[in-house]
Amino acid sequence: MSEFAPKKVAVLISGRGSNMASLIAAAKEEGYPAQIVLVASNNPDAKGLETAAAEGIATCAVDHKAYGKDREAFEKALNEEIVKSGAELVVLAGFMRLLTPWFVKQWEGRMINIHPALLPSFKGLDTHQRAIDAGVRLHGATVHFVTPEMDVGPIIMQGAVPVLDDDTEATLAARVLTVEHEIYPEALALVAAERTCIEGMRVRILGSDDMEEDLIAPVV
Ligand code: GRF
């Protein structure tokens, strides 16, 4: 897939880590352009830390509670771990802490996030219930570069799913999660292979023309 050495990636999580697991699985594939060198969490009890350790990946917990209200002190400690791991890219996968402009600046253009909605709709939390309440027919997930404003950065890839009449928050969340697990490894591969070029709010994908079609996953 890539003529580059795999890019070293730190994945930040806060909970179950199913997206992280999908990235770990993808990174095992021959030729995948990224290698997960660290899984870090602000929550020492995050289930995903166990999953990553069982896969033989280095893990660390930097408990934000130990830093009280001092977000930057927490982020500096976390950043130290990331830098120590040799990571070149940071991937947020259900990382539930707001990041300060300082941290975002350290990883500008090199940090991506997955959000469970079709941005710019439904930024923030409770996206699935809000999508149902708003009566939208399509919902989904977005992978984007991280900028200081939450859920706003340039969009790399989106996946859409239908919202069905009898959907509950749980059924819709499960349908979206399936798409998340497809698009996050694909989007990370593009970034790691240096095939993304940020132009203002748009991300241009460099390389084969037929790739363009894959940037919006089909409705499933
Ligand atoms: C996902 O829905 C992701 O989009 C959001 O947080 C959730 C994390 O789930 N940012 P998991 O920990 O990857 O299972």
Question: What is the DSSP code string of 177-208?
Answer: HHHHHHHHHHHHHHHHTT-EEEETTEEEEPS-
1-107 and 114-220 agree in CATH topology: yes
What pLDDT was estimated at residue 141? Answer: 98
Please work out whether the CB of residue 19 comes within 6 Å of at least one atom of ligand 1. yes
Closest CA to 70 of 30, 43, 97, 45: 97
Read off the pLDDT of residues 126-169 as tens digits, 9 standing for 90 and up.
999 999 999 999 999 999 999 999 999 999 999 999 999 999 99
Read off the pLDDT of residues 4-33 as tens digits, 9 standing for 90 and up.
799 999 999 999 999 999 999 999 999 999
> Of 3 and 122, which is predicted with more confidence?
122
Counting ligand 1 atoms within 8 A of each CB, the residue from 11, 18, 19, 41 with the most, and so the one to mutate, is 19
What pLDDT was estimated at residue 210? Answer: 52
HSE value, Cβ hemisphere, 13 Å, CA-based, for 53:
12
Please work out whether the CB of residue 75 comes within 6 Å of at least one atom of ligand 1. no
Residue 218 has pLDDT above 90, yes or no: no
Supply the CATH classification number for the domain 114-220. 3.40.50.170
Counting ligand 1 atoms within 8 A of each CB, the residue from 111, 157, 177 with the most, and so the one to mutate, is 177
Mean pLDDT of the chain: 94
Atom of ligand 1 nearest to the CA of 22: 13
Report in angstroms the alpha-carbon separations of 170 from 4, 8, 129, 206.
Answer: 40, 34, 9, 37
- The single residue of 115, 128, 139, 181 carrying the catalytic annotation is 115
Active site residue 115: yes
Atom of ligand 1 nearest to the CA of 14: 12
Count Cβ atoms within 10 A of the Cβ of residue 12 and give its class: 0-12 exposed, 13-18 middle, 19 or more buried. Answer: buried
> For the whole model, what pTM was predicted?
0.94
Homologous superfamily (CATH) for 1-107: Formyl transferase, N-terminal domain (3.40.50.170)
How do the domains of the chain map onto residue ranges?
Answer: 1-107, 114-220
Task: For residue 102, give the H/E element and its range.
Answer: helix 101-106
Please work out whether the CB of residue 180 comes within 6 Å of at least one atom of ligand 1. yes
